[in-house]
Amino acid sequence: MKLATLFCAAAFACSVAGPSLAQGTKPTDPQIAHIAYTAGQLDIKAAQQALDKSKNQQVRAFAQDMVRDHTSVNDQALALCKKLGVTPEDNDTSKNLVKDADAYRAKLASLSGAAFDKAYAEHEVAYHHQVNGALESTLIPSASNGELKSLLQTGLKIFKGHEEHARSLASSLK
Amino acid sequence: MFAIVIAVLAAAPAVAGTVHIAMKDVAFSPAKIAAKVGDTVEWANKDFVAHTATARDGSFNVDLAASKTGRTVLKKAGKVEYYCRYHPTMKAEIDVSK
Ligand SMILES: [Cu+2]
């Protein structure tokens, strides 16, 4: 109940501010696993849209990298959850991530060519930045299982790499 | 004893060797290493994601899937900076001497 209240409060704050990850709340391990997994799946969906729409080789290569890496990280996450007997639990933070990502994909669907490429690349910078911030400030400090924490820490290093990669992609498209 | 070992090492002729570098926890380890022209550099990817060792000067580009090992032979002297194309936060250098 208390957690739900906190998540709702955070969700409200976020719907105003834009980013939708809960700040300053303490999610449980099953919720953390769900949030991290969802964030990865959403980036894979974004990449699949880019692979459907873009003809730019750099953009396509980046999108393929995102599909490959986020699939690997999520496979690790699922294997760890299975090993630990943790069932990922849906929550308002995950729901908000999905809602925001669906809205952004719909927006990108109306763009094409260089406009699409630029918007996708810039959104990848912002999205990784947002997820990395949430990992650092909330998800990693809140994780109580050591192996989950360690996987999130490795994930953070990988996603910081993606953020930097997206940044150089976005600046090359200007 | 120590002095003898050092003397022998110092006197040994330059034989092409292999320099080992790990890609582990999204970093090159060691990030700085010395080698000689003719040496082989071997990267071992210990992570569950792919990485590359891509020279900024274009002299090598080793693309390694998770848990794979790859190598290159150093052909010229000088400092070579390299990075991972997939995770450009991964940066390292090899100081190649003649
Ligand atoms: Cu890498």
What residue ranges do the domains of chain B occupy? 16-97
CB spacing of B86 vs A76 below 8 angstroms: no
Over 50: is that where the pLDDT of A78 sits?
Answer: yes
Q: pLDDT-derived band of residue A25, with 50, 70 and 90 as boundaries?
A: low
Mutation site for A-interface testing, chosen from B24, B45, B49 by largest number of A Cβ within 10 Å: B49
Numbered residues of chain B with Cβ closer than 8 Å to any chain A Cβ? 25-27, 47-50, 66, 84-90
As assigned by CATH, the class of the A2-14+26-172 domain is mainly alpha
pLDDT at residue number A4: 37
The DSSP result for B22-54, as a single string, is EE-SSSEESSEEEEETTPEEEEEE-SSS-EEEE
CA-nearest residue of chain B to A63?
B86
Q: What is the DSSP letter of B69?
A: E
Closest CA to B68 of B96, B38, B47: B47
Q: How many contacts does A have with B, using Cβ atoms within 8 A?
A: 42
Angle (CA) A118-A164-B67 rounded to 5° is: 120
Instruction: For chain A, give the percent of residues with pLDDT over 90.
Output: 84
Residue A133 pLDDT exceeds 90:
yes
Q: What does residue B43 show for φ and ψ, rounded to 5 degrees?
A: -100, 135
Instruction: Name A32's Cβ contacts closer than 8 Å, sequence gap at least 6.
Output: A139, A142, A143, A148, A152
Distance from CA of A78 to the nearest CA of B (A): 14
- Residue whose pair of structure tokens reads 């210990």 in the numeric block: B46
Q: How confident is the model at residue B16 (pLDDT cuts 50, 70, 90)?
A: confident
From residue B77, give the alpha-carbon distance in Å to each of A38, A146, B17, B38, B72.
47, 45, 15, 10, 14
Q: In terms of CATH architecture, what is B16-97?
A: Sandwich (2.60)
Strand partners, B63: B52
> What does the pLDDT read at residue B15?
72
pLDDT average, residue stretch B23-49: 97
- Going across the sheet that includes B32-36, the strands are B32-36, B91-97, B78-83, B51-55, B61-64
Helix and strand counts by DSSP (H, E) for chain A: 7, 0
Say if residues A67 and A44 touch (Cβ distance below 8 Å). Answer: yes
pTM for this predicted structure: 0.85
Both structure tokens of B66: 């998770």
Can you read off the two tokens belonging to residue B11? 């006197």
Measured CA distances, B74 to B30, B32, B88 (Å): 17, 15, 22
Please give the residue of chain B at the shortest CA–CA distance from A159: B87
pLDDT at site B14: 59
Contact B43, B70 (CB under 8 A): yes
Q: Where along chain A do its domains lie?
A: 2-14+26-172
Cα–ligand 1 centroid distance for B42 (angstroms): 16
More confident call, B58 vs A3: B58
The answer, yes or no, to whether residue B8 has pLDDT greater than 80, is no
Q: Is A83 on the interface with B (CB under 8 A)?
A: no
Per-residue pLDDT tens over the stretch A151-174: 999 999 999 999 999 999 999 997
- Do the Cβ atoms of B36 and B16 come closer than 8 Å? yes
CA–centroid distance, A3 to ligand 1, in Å, is: 36
Q: How far is ligand 1, taken at its centre, from the CA of residue B5, in Å?
A: 38
Closest Cβ–Cβ partner in B27, B85, B86 for A69? B86
Say what the pLDDT of residue A10 is: 38
ipTM value: 0.83
